[in-house]
Amino acid sequence: MNQRVSLRGLRTFCLAARHNSFREAADALFVTASAVSHQIIRLEEEIGTPLFERQPRSLSLTATGRSLYEQLGPLIDDLDDAVARHRGTSARETLRISVQPFFASEMFVPSLDGFTKKYPEIDIEVQTSDESAEKHPSNADVSIRIFKSKPSSLMAQRLFALKLVPAGSPEFKRDLRTRGKAIVTDFPRVVHESRPMAWKNWQRVSGIRYPDDSKLVSLDSMIAVARAAERGLGAALVPRQLSDSWFNSGKLVRLFDDELETTDAYYLVYRKEDAGKDTVLQFEEWALQRFADAA
């Protein structure tokens, strides 16, 4: 390796190697994926050997790239720690938190003042992103997101299981008729596109049958699902623990008492290498106290 190799290029390489993704490295650096690609190409030219094997839909380290990352990654982390230790004592810390939109609006943001009052020296950046993907965004320090099972590649604390309850507008419930365990009036259903089987699973658990030919409306976010139900478009399965404000306001009402406890759960997650960060541990302690009893 010669003297032309830049620290910026090495840092970019470590991020891309960590995530096996130029796009996620770009998100963390707040640049474009093309800029990351150009930096990696330049680094490969300076070193004189490929560091990544590029396929149309995948990215992986070469043997040289893997060896370089194993040696370089800890050094970059040590460098960041050294810089952090020598910052002025008055410097504020920033914690970047990723949460899914419905959880953010209905449970997280209304509770956040508890954390900011306890730790006034920590600045908060809240990111809301994709509801369906089971991932911890590369540009976040900590996430609270839905996972089907505990992710083994991350530090993870289970908060509470996702429980869905049938809800609709007051007018929708007024017109609803049942005979025994069967719904005998029209029963249009609003469906979250990531949970196409949720209504069938609820029907199996509750024993209440709805008309097989009832209309379906599929939407890509839980906020949109709840809003559609509020407007009378149909019945929706909404997260029971996150919907108190909708029920308390009367905008939505529970259609039946039966609920569906899914196999999914909300987890607090962060990277294993961030397990020693004070801000992450402080947030973890607060979140466990605040949300772990939401069962």
pLDDT over 90, % of the chain: 60
| Average pLDDT of span 92-113 | 90
Do 274 and 133 contact (CB within 8 A), yes or no? no
What pLDDT, on the 0 to 100 scale, is given for residue 1? 43
Options 3.40.190.290, 3.90.1580.10, 1.20.1250.20, 1.10.3720.10; CATH for 93-295 is 3.40.190.290
Strands 235-239 and 216-219: unpaired
| pTM of the predicted structure, to 2 decimals | 0.68
Do 276 and 142 contact (CB within 8 A), yes or no? no
CA distances from 51 to 128, 138, 225 (A): 33, 20, 45
Residue 19 pLDDT more than 90? no
Options 1.10.1740.10, 1.10.3720.10, 3.30.230.10, 1.10.10.10; CATH for 7-85 is 1.10.10.10
Q: What is the pLDDT of residues 21-68, one digit of tens each?
A: 888 888 777 778 888 899 899 899 888 899 999 988 888 999 999 999
What pLDDT, on the 0 to 100 scale, is given for residue 86? 63
| Average pLDDT of span 187-201 | 94
Confidence of residue 181 (pLDDT cuts 50, 70, 90): very high
* CA–CA distance, 95 with 123 (Å, rounded to integer): 6
Give ranges for CATH 3.40.190.290 in the chain: 93-295
Do 203 and 164 contact (CB within 8 A), yes or no? no
Q: What is the pLDDT of residues 138-176, one digit of tens each?
A: 888 999 999 999 999 999 999 999 999 999 999 999 999
Give ranges for CATH 1.10.10.10 in the chain: 7-85
